[in-house]
């Protein structure tokens, strides 16, 4: 019956050198749900994700992970980060390490998992992500889509409670976007809790249980995908969606 949100943010404020980048941001992410953050470039999506992972220190407000306040100064920040997987637009794989070495690095170094066990888990993940044959390759031998799938496998290797995905298809050639989105769909089916910032509106509409539209650091509108895409309440949301989809109105299709 535990319905504690996996992630909760309350009144989060973040400034950079006096500029307010997140203003009074609240967010609740229920277990096994997908939240999509949409909004123009510069609206604060990446900053929100970085605050959730404690990569950025917030100026005000509070953040909870599984009911534990992680912005409490007494919280163990490293322990918190170990429970959150992050995948960025740039895959950031280590070029001098094979795929399997990239994936087993954090489990072995940070979590103290024995090599054999870490490698078994890595191979299992590669199998699931359709990369079993690539375990021994170096990243530069892989396509962008394959590298991004390795980055996802690396994030999953530590069995995170929450996965944060920041524009993970933005750097990919269009024909490679699909294979990465397929992986995200599979993760949703397995019940992974995810928050993703994306420009792929069709994908957000399809996969998200909750959609948040950010505008200049404010969550201006939130709702189900059906509400936000099908019948946006705010003028600015409507204008944004019109601009990015090029359609006067998003139909039911
Ligand atoms: N490290 C930083 N220092 C100063 N300003 C930053 C920094 N990171 C982000 N910003 C600013 O914060 C705003 C939000 O950026 P960001 O979170 O990257 O937006 P989005 O991901 O929606 O494009 C932008 O105006 C950006 O220039
Ligand atoms: Mg961003």
Per-residue tens of pLDDT for the chain, all 253 residues: 468 999 999 999 999 998 999 999 999 999 999 999 999 999 999 999 999 999 999 999 999 999 999 999 999 998 999 999 999 999 899 999 999 999 999 999 988 999 999 999 999 999 999 999 999 999 999 999 999 999 999 999 999 999 999 999 999 999 999 999 999 999 999 999 999 999 999 999 999 999 999 999 999 999 999 999 999 999 999 999 999 987 555 544 4
Calculate how far, in angstroms, residue 113's C-alpha sits from the geometric centre of ligand 2.
Answer: 32
From residue 208, alpha-carbon distances to 42, 143, 211, 235, 236 in Å are 21, 27, 6, 21, 20
pLDDT of 111 reads 85
Cα-based angle 109, 110, 111 (whole degrees, multiple of 5)? 105
Give the residues across from 84 on adjacent strands: 162
Give the integer Cα–Cα distance in Å for 111 and 190.
23
pLDDT of 247 reads 56
What is this structure's pTM? 0.93
Ligand 1 atom, smallest distance to 56 CA: 1
pLDDT of 253 reads 43
Long-range contacts of 77-82 (CB under 8 A, 24+ apart): 78/110, 80/54, 81/53, 81/54, 82/110, 82/111, 82/158, 82/160
Q: Residue with the nearest Cα to atom 5 of ligand 1?
A: 16
Calculate how far, in angstroms, residue 42's C-alpha sits from the geometric centre of ligand 1.
Answer: 6
Q: For the CA atoms of 180, 79, 93, 108, what is the dihedral angle to 10 degrees?
A: -110
Q: Is the shortest distance between the CB of 39 and ligand 1 below 6 Å?
A: yes
From residue 145, alpha-carbon distances to 91, 213, 229 in Å are 10, 27, 27
Q: Is the shortest distance between the CB of 41 and ligand 1 below 6 Å?
A: yes
**Residue 235: Cβ within 10 Å count:** 10
Q: Is the shortest distance between the CB of 42 and ligand 1 below 6 Å?
A: yes
Calculate how far, in angstroms, residue 167's C-alpha sits from the geometric centre of ligand 2.
Answer: 7
pLDDT of 46 reads 98
Residue whose CB lies within 8 A of the most ligand 1 atoms, among 21, 59, 213, for a mutation test: 21
pLDDT of 252 reads 45
């Amino acid at each position: 019956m535990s319905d504690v949100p996996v992630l909760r943010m309350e009144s989060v404020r973040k400034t950079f050198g006096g500029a307010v980048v997140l203003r009074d941001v609240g967010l609740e992410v229920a277990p096994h749900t997908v939240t999509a953050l949409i909004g123009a470039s510069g609206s604060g999506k990446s900053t929100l994700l970085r605050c959730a992972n404690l990569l950025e220190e917030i100026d005000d407000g509070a953040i909870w992970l599984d009911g534990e306040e992680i912005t409490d100064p007494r919280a163990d920040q490293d322990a918190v980060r170990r429970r959150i997987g992050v995948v960025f637009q740039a895959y950031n794989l280590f070029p001098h390490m094979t795929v399997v070495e990239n994936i087993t690095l954090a489990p072995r170094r940070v979590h103290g998992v024995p090599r054999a066990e870490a490698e078994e888990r890595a191979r299992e993940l590669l199998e699931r992500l359709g990369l079993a044959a690539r375990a021994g390759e170096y990243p530069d031998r892989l396509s962008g889509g394959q590298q991004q799938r390795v980055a996802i496998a690396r994030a999953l290797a530590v069995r995170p409670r929450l996965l944060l995905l920041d524009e993970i298809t933005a750097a990919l050639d269009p024909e490679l976007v699909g294979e990465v989105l397929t992986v995200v769909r599979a993760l949703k089916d397995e019940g992974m809790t995810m928050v993703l910032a994306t420009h792929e509106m069709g994908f957000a509409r399809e996969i998200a249980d909750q959609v948040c539209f950010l505008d200049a650091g404010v969550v201006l509108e939130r709702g189900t995908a059906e509400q936000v895409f099908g019948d946006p309440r705010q003028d600015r949301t409507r204008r944004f969606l019109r601009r990015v989809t090029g359609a006067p109105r998003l139909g039911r299709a």
